[in-house]
Amino acid sequence: PNALPFPLQGISTPQRSPTLKANHLVLTFDLPSYPDVFATVRGQRGLYDAWINFSLQLSLRQTLGESAASHMIVTPTHMRHYKHGRCDPTYSLTMHSRKLVNVLASSTSPDNTIQYTNDLLQLFHVAFMEHKNIIRNTKSGQGVGPHLAALRQSLLPDNPLKRFLVPFGCPSVYLTGVDLMEGVECGVGNVYAQDQLAVTYLGKTDRVRIILNGKGIFAMSLEKLQETLMMNLKRVMLLAVRYAIASQMGALECLFKQGQKEKTHCPKSPATSNGTNSASEKGFDCTLVIHGGAGEEMMLNNKVTDIIEFALQTALTLGSQILEEGGSSLDAVQRSVEALEDCFLFNAGKGSVFNKDGFNEMEATIVDGNGQRSGSVACVKSIKNPIKAARCVMEKSSHSMIVGEGAEELLQGLGEKEKPVGPEYFYTDIRHKELLAKLNGGNTLKNNHPQTVGAVALDCWNRLAAASSTGGLVGKLKGRVGDTAVVGAGIYADEEVAIACSGDGDVFLRNTVAQKVASLYHNKGYGLRQACREVMTENLKGTCAGVIAVDKKGNVIIETNAAVMFVASITGGTSRVEVLRPIKTFTNVIWETDELVAYLNPNPWTPGSTILTRKTLSGASSIFQLAIPDFIAMLKGAKAVSNLLCERLGVQRCAMVFNPASDGSAQIRLLPLHGLEQKWKPHLAIEEEFHGHSTGFCNSKSGPRWDDDALTQVQAKIREALPTPNAPFCFDYNGDASDDNLFSQIIRGEQQQWRVWEDSDHVAFLTPYPNRPGLTVVVPRKSLTSNIFRLEDSDYEALILATYEVAQLLQEGMKAPSVALIFEGYEIDHAHVKLVPQLSSPCGAKVVEQKAEFFQSYPGFVSSLDGPPADSETIKNIHTKITQSRAPHSWEDPQSHSTLAIKNQWYHNLFQIQNTLFHSTVEYFHTCCQYSYALTPLTTDTISSPMGLGSDSEPVSVHLLGQDVYLADSMQFVLEYFLRFQENLPGTYYISPSFRGEDPDSTHLNQFYHVECELLGDMDDAISIAEGYLVHLTRSMLKKHSDKILNTAGSLAHTTALLSKMDGKTPLPRISLDRAISMMPSADCLEWVQDGQPLFGRKLTRKGERVLIEKYGGAVWLTDMDHLGVPFYQAYVEGTRQCKAKAADLLLGLGETVGLGERHSTPEMVREALKHHAVPEDSYKWYIGMRQVKPLLTSGWGMGTERYLCWLLQHDDVRDMQIIPRMKGMKYMP
């Protein structure tokens, strides 16, 4: 046969149009995450599939808009049965999933984040349950697909119902995949229709691979869909992980109930990761504190931190619900710890670390403080919740601790519902990697992960309890038991206090940390925080530690020296949750509390610029995210710091600027306004400024006038977030009708305005001259000073609470991620606050350059910007000016002293220092020396410095109850007397006023507080005790008041030098009077004891004493004084022919601070000395007689506390050391 010819001439090949694109596209991407996160999601049946499904639905909506709802989504993955000749997929687009997707889309902020609330979690739960039910029905053959197909095929072509059913025959979107399939790298779903999308997912241990196969309209938008799906998978995963954690903890119902309460009782209360306020908890007088461990070098990003905080909040909610319903503290701590054990994030229960052999050995303890009962288990391997086993040991055995298989057998023998779990339950990827790192020689010195979980609680019956659980240390030896299992080491509770610890368990065991904290609290009167800090400082030097504690009064402390600690608490109805990152040091601090600190800005905008913040790197980045009590505390702190700056820098007022931080804890900036007159007058910035979005800073400059329509639109947008946006305004004015400033007129409705909010006491309105959209002014309905920090406390608190509420409204109404705040007050002399919504920057917006600014005086506006770095000397001078404590010398005016002292920091500091002096003195003599305290009278007929030779003071005589007596100048004689009341009593002491009659001066007082002791032994023994007391007292002062000493003395060198000398057990130098005299550089350094009578001996003047003090480096004993220059009762130095006395003065600070001497041991010696000093014997017969009854060799000394404090504070006038003066010729009140 011949081939057929096909002429091709004249046939042209059609050219492809350059505008046409392929309508079939395949895209692939991976989404990585932590293996344990994927494992947790897979652990909830069907959750992995729902996560992908809901993410896809959200992405389709964001990519295709409202038309996405018309696309049918099916999941053929679940096909199991065949009916009527066809298979039945799952139709996964449901009413509840659409509702969830709508909320997710609307709640996504401009910065592409979602606020994961309990409401959102509940929507997810409902959609997920529906999703699971549909799958279950599909797998059981009860799906609707076959029936719909049969119905569709039976209908006539013109039947409208058939048109509705057509999409079921050819769905637009196919989703299929598997949650874990290792070894398979790709799988593509086929598309066969004109407009169709196939989405395939392949789960791996540490990622999920997504394959998108699109055709038609889906091909054209596939790249955008890929972008949105990648983003939404991350967002919805964070929701799914929260759901999985809450489900593992058994907390879903509890969380949903909590959410309903918050909506019912407090719909507008803020709810953040850092604090919530619920009206349902008004009067909630129970307390619960939990922790998830303390550790170092925690590499936590914000998302991980948020998940940890969610888990803590969930565990806290479970425990607090028990307390709220009247349950016991014991049940509450157990429930919270159980929840933490159920979560892979914490080193307890499911998240426990591995021992060296790759097994989990866990321990737990629970303590009932009310009944002084406890139960502990250790080295358990198959118990899901070790804390439950510990409870069983406490309540169902006669033991306090059971270890290993015995504990497991006890639990099973009691018929508990809990079944043993295998090693696979406890396996987590992160703990396995930690073990490998440890075995491969990783850092064994650092505590790189949280160590324990714990809880302490106080219930409505005032009963305390504590619970703790842990997996121990990574790579520990088999059988190791840590502090968590030992009451008194890592945990403690009694009727007064409950304590739970976290840290290096072996160190805690050796130091019985929890018991030491409790002991200081019980036996030394320490507060909980003080007790924790002392134990950490003294016993845990360099060891990572964290402690939570609560006492019977409801006082709560969370104290740690670690880089991070996971904590949550509920006190007074307010819950707080935080991955706590304490800042350990600040520079140039001018004010602080346990929670807050204010320090000079090293880059000041104006001289004295100060930053007020929490003592943590973590926490809310906005003050408007704080729980209300914490918000109030911080703003009250701002008021205190402002008043301090005004007082010390001599400015009329301070402005306050808060601009939300991009990371870290919120910072308030306090700016002294220099160069202003005392009388108020307006000051305005010269230039205007406007930005349509957040620039990273804020200021108080005005912007150009907005047109009325634009203001009205913004007003409507904000008011739409109110419960009643169309409610009529109230124009009540609570001030004087004659007030005519602009704000008063706006409140009364006399001026055009754009009001956005009001209550009975305050009004908020838009300014027509904003520098950012939505800038709002909040004012009280009465005329109050524009210097907000000078408002009365009640007015100030009311204004800041109104400001808090308006800030929440602006965030919601303007969809603003945050709001800035400004106090200034130089536009209108009427109290007002400016709130500046910080709107997200649109894509492609030009970045506004932040230039450093510095103004020596107030320029008419304030700003959150930093200035150029200040030189260290300038900062130091300002710091000294602010912090230096100066004596006000208010005692010079007796009439006003009492009022001025109350307000003065010098006397506030002195009060605390005197308190420490008293308690430290008692501690030294009672605990260190075992001396007995003597209760001595104030009156006597036997004065220690009688009018005779050697008298060194003038006694004070009074006529009392018909008798002429003396006010005691010293109770040394009484101490000698009391020393004979107990066999072998080593010593007696007292602290009491003494009286002297000389005219007061810089070194003498008429009434002063005297510390005196009398002891068995000679003068050397007395000197040793005195030096020990000086060391003990000074060390206590440094420990508790080093900041006050530094701010007054300007240095701590004098104290540290003294301690360093004496820490080596080296006694202070001693020099005899004769030798000292030979060293004096001039005649005015010494004088005769009796003017013009050399017979009675010599003594040093104050100048001479200072010469010796300087020569011997700050402190020296002057010994062997001329006997006729001291009182009669001092013993004679042997071999001196009764010329020298066994007496010594400690020269310190102003001069003589301690007077010391050895006593005559026999009656004969006393008589001889009285005669020698020409003192009548009559009043001293009893003094002679007691030596006949009980002869003793004793010595003693006395210290004027005011002179010691002058040395401590490096001050030159003892008259400034009395809060309530008593001086000759002057009358003081009280």
Listed residue (273, 339, 333, 275) closest to 307, CA to CA: 273
Compute the distance between CA of residue 270 and CA of residue 278 in angstroms, rounded to an integer.
Answer: 9
Cα dihedral across residues 902, 906, 912, 917: positive or negative = negative
Listed residue (331, 317, 294) closest to 570, CA to CA: 317
Length of the chain: 1230
Compute the distance between CA of residue 782 and CA of residue 776 in angstroms, rounded to an integer.
Answer: 18
Spatial contact of 214 and 59, defined as CB atoms under 8 Å apart: no
Three-state SS annotation for 181-246 = CCCCCCCCCCCCCCCEEEEEEEECCCEEEEEEEEECHHHHCHHHHHHHHHHHHHHHHHHHHHHHHH
CA triple 1214-1215-1216, angle to 5 deg: 90
Per-residue CA distances from 226 to 5, 26, 113, 838 (Å): 51, 10, 18, 30
Spatial contact of 94 and 133, defined as CB atoms under 8 Å apart: no
**CB neighbour list of residue 787: distance below 8 Å, 6 or more residues apart:** 652, 653, 825
Listed residue (1073, 1071, 1039, 1072) closest to 1055, CA to CA: 1039
Annotated catalytic residue 940:
no
Buried/exposed code over 251-272 (b: 16+ C-beta within 10 A; e: otherwise): bbebbbebbebbeeebeebbbb
Listed residue (54, 50, 75, 49) closest to 198, CA to CA: 75
Q: What tokens appear for 379 in the block?
A: 């080295």
3-class DSSP state of 977: helix
Per-residue CA distances from 471 to 36, 359, 506, 588, 792 (Å): 17, 10, 14, 42, 53
Q: What tokens appear for 509 in the block?
A: 């065991």
Orientation of helix 1163-1172 relative to helix 1181-1189, angle to 10°: 160
Spatial contact of 734 and 747, defined as CB atoms under 8 Å apart: no
Compute the distance between CA of residue 166 and CA of residue 572 in angstroms, rounded to an integer.
Answer: 60
Cα dihedral across residues 976, 982, 983, 985: positive or negative = negative
Neighbours of 166 (CB within 10 A): 10
Neighbours of 902 (CB within 10 A): 10
Greatest extent of the chain over all pairs of C-alpha atoms, in Å: 164
Three-state SS annotation for 245-277 = HHHHCCCHHHHHHHHHHHHHHCCCCCECCCCEE
Q: What is the dihedral of CA 740, 746, 749, 754, to 10 degrees?
A: 160
For the chain, the helix, strand and coil percentages under 3-state DSSP, each to the nearest 5: 40, 20, 40
Compute the distance between CA of residue 1141 and CA of residue 858 in angstroms, rounded to an integer.
Answer: 68
Per-residue CA distances from 884 to 239, 594, 639, 880 (Å): 53, 21, 20, 5
The active-site residue out of 63, 138, 452, 484 is 452
Spatial contact of 577 and 568, defined as CB atoms under 8 Å apart: yes
Annotated catalytic sites, by residue? 452
